[in-house]
Amino acid sequence: MLSKSSRKSSSAAKESPAAEGKFPLFFKHPAPLDVRQHSKASIFPSNDFSFTTETNSIAINGIEFVEAAKHYPIIFLQADIPLPVVVLGLEKNNYFVNAKGAWKEDTYIPAYVRKYPFVFMDVPEQKTFILCVDEAASAFAPNTVKGALPLYKDNEPSELTRNALEFCTAFHNHSVITRRFCEDLKAANILVPSESNTKLFNNRKINLGGFQVIDEKKLNALPDETILDFHKKGWLPLIYFALMSASHWKKLADMAGSLEPKK
């Protein structure tokens, strides 16, 4: 099994952004990578993102804000730790993936999506994360198949697997930083409940709630020492990107309208 020590960050949450149920979002059968079980297994290279069609939000890390803010609203979940997500649709579907599974051209694809079908699963008692692959993914093949990339070569992790481990390690490390950012936002009390209320051209109303946003008035009222602390930690750019991203709510409303049946 491939694992990554996390002794310095063992308190970090399992990777389960906006997920409901037993496994992280998108994952149906994550299995620890093991040469005995996956010696012949492989992954098809694919740009098919159909697995994301039935979600309207994806978790992101702070390092992604600069790109994500160009395309999506960035909001924060209403939870003990209000982690950030991008909004992909106003209802229970992703407006950015078409019927063929292609992501909207020239639009940022969140790292959580790009690393699928790989994920770290937490083993708290060992203070370790184990690299897993979703055996239910359409890209996964249990045997060697022409055109697919092997998970192991000569009983050693392949380049694909090593890259997946590196990607998931970086994702986890950034998630720890993002968690600290969100803890500071919560402590500063600048997150407020919000909702989106949209009326389409055919008078159908769409209401999306259950999330929080940064309140600009509360931000501006923070004491100087808090602003200085945020500046030193690198939080201020993330805050400004999140605020600017609110301009994309109109784009989502337009996209929702374009999906409505025309009379």
Instruction: Give pTM, 2 decimals.
Output: 0.88
| pLDDT single digits (tens) 108-166 | 999 999 999 999 988 777 778 899 999 999 999 998 888 999 999 999 999 999 999 99
Residue-averaged pLDDT of the chain: 90
Q: Check residue 263 and give its pLDDT.
A: 63
More confident residue, 15 or 90: 90
DSSP state of 216: H
Q: Check residue 222 and give its pLDDT.
A: 98
Q: Assess whether pLDDT exceeds 60 at residue 21.
A: no
CA distance 60 to 171: 9
| pLDDT single digits (tens) 153-180 | 999 999 999 999 999 999 999 999 999 9
Instruction: Report the greatest alpha carbon distance in the chain.
Output: 61
Q: Assess whether pLDDT exceeds 60 at residue 13.
A: no
Please report which confidence band the pLDDT of residue 15 belongs to, taking 50, 70 and 90 as the band edges. Answer: very low
Q: Which amino acid is located at 12 in the chain?
A: A
Nearest to 199 by CA among 187, 207, 190, 210: 207
Q: Check residue 123 and give its pLDDT.
A: 74
Q: What percent of the chain has pLDDT over 70?
A: 91
Q: Check residue 102 and give its pLDDT.
A: 97
Please report which confidence band the pLDDT of residue 33 belongs to, taking 50, 70 and 90 as the band edges. Answer: very high
Q: Assess whether pLDDT exceeds 90 at residue 66.
A: yes
- Find out whether 80 and 33 touch, Cβ atoms under 8 Å: no
Among the ranges given (104-113, 122-131, 197-206, 208-217), the one the predictor scored with the smallest mean pLDDT: 122-131
Alpha carbon 260 to chain centroid, angstroms: 27
Among the ranges given (86-100, 114-128, 203-217, 232-246), the one the predictor scored with the smallest mean pLDDT: 114-128
Please report which confidence band the pLDDT of residue 231 belongs to, taking 50, 70 and 90 as the band edges. Answer: very high
More confident residue, 5 or 10: 5
Q: Check residue 127 and give its pLDDT.
A: 73
CA distance 104 to 221: 39
Q: Check residue 129 and give its pLDDT.
A: 84
Q: Where are the domains of the chain?
A: 3-258
- Find out whether 127 and 120 touch, Cβ atoms under 8 Å: no
DSSP state of 124: G
